[in-house]
Amino acid sequence: MPDGTIRNAPHIANETGQSDKVMRINTAGRKVDMVESLGYANGELVKYISTDASDPAAAALENSTYTPALNAAPTAGGDGTDSARATLAALVNGQTGISNPQRQGLNSALLDGADPLNLLFWTPNQGRYSPLWDVHLAQWSAAAVAAGSNFAQKDRSQLLNVVGNHVLTGPGGATFGPAGFIVNCPIISSN
């Protein structure tokens, strides 16, 4: 909006059912309680809600609505003030263990049954922020995993430094970049 307000109005319920993220709906009070996910942005823990994904596997992992048309939002890899998308790094092979402070990644989400602790590159008070996250899958090198140096990434600059050193790449050693799908995950709060 002209004043900087970002409006995000995903479907939470209709005649076919309700979103998996909805815990309670109070229609009289016009309130909805939704499950939040934890992640990182700018070195801080943030809470966000996952409502939609343009990929069926991502929608299943996020318990969100599959919305393939969402992938038409401009521009894959844009991550600038001229793009509707912002970068989200989803690590695929971080450390695991629910009590491990270095735990992070899709593998941890599956094995530990907890949030993957994705790294969101921007926060709502930054000009490049968008709730439409351009997912960049990131894989630690075999050497980093073997050495136990696949530490949780909590800050964009920290992650980009590790990417620049080729310790973290796209899956299978590919260049770190957009995976070809987006998720709608507005940040609700931060510590």
Other beta carbons less than 10 A from residue 46's beta carbon: 23
Residue 5 lies in a domain: no
- What is the tally of structural domains in the chain? 1
In a domain, 138, yes or no: yes
Residue 145 lies in a domain: yes
Residue 125, H or E segment: none
Whether residue 50 is contained in a domain is answered as yes
Asked, for residue 12, whether it belongs to a domain, the answer is no
Q: pLDDT per residue over 67-125, tens digit each? A: 999 999 999 999 988 899 999 999 999 999 999 999 999 999 999 999 999 999 999 99
* Per-residue pLDDT reduced to its tens digit, 72-83: 999 999 998 889
pLDDT of residue 38: 96
In a domain, 6, yes or no: no
* Cα 69 to Cα 101: distance, rounded to the nearest angstrom: 37
Closest by CA to 10, choosing from 189, 191, 186, is 186
Tell me, what's the pLDDT at 4? 64
Yes or no: say if 153 and 105 are a contact pair by the CB < 8 Å rule.
Answer: no
Structural domain range at position 96: 17-190
Percent of the chain at pLDDT exceeding 70? 98
> pTM of the full predicted structure?
0.90
Those residues whose C-beta lies under 8 Å from the C-beta of residue 114, and which sit 6 or more positions away, are 98, 103, 108
Q: Does residue 133 fall inside a structural domain?
A: yes
Instruction: Calculate the alpha carbon distances from 157 to 11, 38, 43, 161, 178 in Å.
Output: 34, 19, 10, 6, 17
Q: Is residue 52 part of a domain?
A: yes
Residue 16 has a pLDDT of 87
Please check the confidence at residue 44 and state whether its pLDDT lies above 80.
yes
Greatest Cα pair distance, the chain, in angstroms, is 56
Contact assessment for residue 42 and residue 123, using Cβ atoms and an 8 Å cutoff: yes
For 160-173, the pLDDT digits (tens) are 999 999 999 999 99
